[in-house]
């Protein structure tokens, strides 16, 4: 709380009675008491309202609460009430006036109810995000507990217990979700201050993963795929040459594939002919709920060959079918464990939960995504084209709104990247009409 000395006054009943509202400049004004820091009088700039208030920082957030109207309490009584409220605030408790649920025959809002209201309002959340919020409430075990009964000490104790039981990342994610639900619900229901603010200095620093497939292991990985089931091998090679997110690739349908897309521009049609494209509808790619637009990716020669080979063994509507009828490929964890062992990408690490050493696989679908981006950079592809190929959001970057990447330029960028990767994988192919075996 930052109160200037010039704004502090010696409060007396006579001083309070002489204060005038609305103020001359039409702006709200707050005067603070010299004898009780944090206690003040708020003068309206528009009405005759004069209100006793208290103001103090709670967990790095300035909180101002009403004590009473000036005509409701004498100064001595208002100062007494304000002192009690400031004591609560010093303890991290927000003295926000609450409605009494019993008086209105209203039951307190439970965390489960708060979650459902939050998810109902946040219509742009992806399925993965919704699952994270539900998982967080399940891990907490407080679903049926009224939110007003969740205290700061409960939050702190649970945070450290979860850190030991499930690891720092899960602890962070769980309480970030709780914090978001609370911030949403405190605007709609009488709640105390957000108990997650007690974790301000306790959040775990989670290092960002940077694993890629080293250049000298790409050929080994590519060859190791020859021993896998055709659908599995095609799926991994598709990830290698597109950098696509694992679930976006895993759920690709043949309806998303167009081998004969014609560029809109006449000159491009004459120069390039037909371009193969992959189109993922908004509901199935990460930023689709926000942008409401499909993600369209041009086919490089490598990707086209993988897809043509898949079409020759087509089993259902999914490009990469699983062993269950009518479902996409599954059990990719086992697949990547085998490939990690085959190309020497397993490492002994210390389990963050138990402190014991364990074998960890370094090869993951997202490692292939990072590998694709690294290869793209090394091949000289522009960062705007990289973002477009990987379906990365440009956020609020104003310049990105002026930079329009057309399909021919994107195809060139994709092919440059795939050529670079093909050389590292030791792939030599005749690109006329031949199709590689899976």
Domain boundary among 173, 199, 225: 199
> What is d(CA 388, CA 189) in angstroms, rounded to the nearest whole number?
42
Residue 112 lies in domain:
103-199
Per-residue pLDDT, 322: 87
Asked whether the beta carbons of 63 and 94 are under 8 A apart, the reply is: yes
Same domain, 185 and 277: no
pLDDT of residue 208: 86
pLDDT at 438: 45
Please give the pLDDT value at position 401. 54
Question: Are both 93 and 113 inside the same structural domain?
Answer: no
- Give domain status of residue 137, yes or no: yes
pLDDT for res 57: 87
Residues of the chain with pLDDT under 50: 1, 3, 99-105, 266, 431-438
Quick: pLDDT tens for 262-273. 655 545 555 555
**For position 289, which CATH number holds?**
1.10.443
- Enumerate residues 6+ apart whose C-beta is below 8 A from 89: 38, 54, 56, 58, 63, 65, 95
Q: Tokens 């809109």 appear where?
A: 264
399, 402, 404, 410 alpha-carbon torsion, rounded to 10°? -20
Backbone dihedral region for residue 399 (phi beyond 0: left; psi -120 to 50: alpha; all else: beta): alpha
Q: Based on the structure, what is the number of domains in the chain?
A: 3
Do residues 234 and 161 share a domain?
no
- Residues 93, 112, single domain; the answer is no
The pLDDT tens digits of the residues spanning 364-407 come to: 999 999 999 999 999 999 998 999 999 987 655 555 555 556 78
Task: Note whether 135 and 40 are same-domain residues.
Answer: no
pLDDT digits (tens, 9 = 90+) for 85-142: 898 888 777 777 554 344 444 578 999 999 999 999 998 888 888 999 999 999 999 9
As a whole number of angstroms, the distance between CA 203 and CA 257 comes to 44
The token pair at 210 is 């940077």
Size of the chain in residues: 438
What is the pLDDT at residue 99?
A: 46
Q: Tell me how far apart the alpha carbons of residues 82 and 39 are, in angstroms, rounded to a whole number.
A: 6
Beta bridge partners of 281: none
- The reply to whether 192 and 229 lie within a common domain is no
Do 51 and 187 share a domain, yes or no?
no
Q: Which residue in 38, 37, 66 sits closest to 52, CA to CA?
A: 66
Q: Specify the residue for token string 């709670």.
A: 58
Give me 224's structure tokens. 């190791």
Supply the pLDDT for residue 429: 58
Return the structure tokens found at 138: 């399940």
Of the residues 46, 73, 97, which one is the last residue of a structural domain? 97
């Amino acid at each position: 709380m930052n109160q200037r000395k010039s704004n502090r006054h010696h409060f007396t009943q006579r001083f309070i009675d002489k204060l005038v509202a609305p103020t001359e400049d039409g702006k709200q004004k707050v005067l603070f008491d010299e004898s009780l820091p944090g206690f003040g009088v708020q003068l309206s700039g528009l009405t005759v309202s004069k209100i006793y208030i208290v103001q103090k920082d709670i967990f790095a957030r300035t909180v101002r609460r009403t004590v009473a109207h000036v005509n409701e309490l004498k100064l001595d009584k208002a100062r007494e009430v304000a002192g009690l409220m400031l004591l609560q605030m010093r303890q991290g408790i927000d003295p926000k006036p609450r409605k009494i649920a019993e008086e209105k025959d209203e039951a307190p809002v439970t965390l489960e109810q708060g979650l459902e209201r939050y998810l109902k309002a946040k219509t742009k959340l992806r399925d993965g995000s919704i699952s994270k919020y539900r998982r967080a409430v399940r891990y907490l075990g407080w679903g049926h507990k009224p939110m007003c009964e969740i205290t700061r000490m409960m939050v702190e104790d649970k945070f450290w217990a979860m850190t030991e039981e499930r690891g720092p990342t899960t602890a962070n994610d769980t309480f970030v979700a709780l914090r978001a639900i609370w911030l949403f619900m405190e605007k709609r229901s009488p709640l105390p201050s957000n108990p997650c603010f007690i974790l301000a200095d306790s959040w775990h620093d989670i290092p960002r993963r940077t694993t890629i497939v080293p250049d000298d292991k790409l050929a080994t990985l590519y060859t190791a795929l020859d021993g896998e089931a055709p659908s599995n091998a095609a799926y991994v090679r598709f990830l290698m040459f597109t950098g696509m997110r694992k679930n976006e690739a895993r759920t690709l349908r043949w309806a998303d594939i167009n081998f004969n897309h014609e560029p809109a521009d006449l000159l491009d049609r004459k120069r390039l002919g037909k371009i193969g494209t992959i189109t993922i509808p908004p509901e199935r790619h990460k930023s689709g709920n926000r942008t409401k637009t499909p993600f369209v990716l041009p086919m490089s020669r490598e990707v086209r060959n993988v897809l043509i080979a898949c079409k020759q063994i087509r089993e259902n509507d999914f490009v990469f079918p699983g062993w269950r009828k009518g479902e996409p490929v599954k059990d990719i964890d086992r697949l990547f464990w085998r490939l990690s062992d085959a190309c020497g990408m397993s490492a002994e690490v210390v389990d963050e939960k138990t402190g014991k050493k364990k074998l960890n696989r370094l090869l993951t679908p997202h490692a292939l995504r990072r590998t694709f981006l690294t290869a793209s950079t090394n091949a000289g592809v522009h960062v705007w084209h990289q973002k477009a190929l990987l379906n990365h959001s440009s956020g609020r970057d104003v310049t990105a709104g002026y930079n329009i990447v057309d399909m021919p330029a994107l195809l060139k960028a994709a092919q440059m990247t795939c050529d670079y990767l093909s050389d590292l994988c030791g792939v030599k192919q005749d690109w006329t009409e031949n199709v590689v075996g899976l």
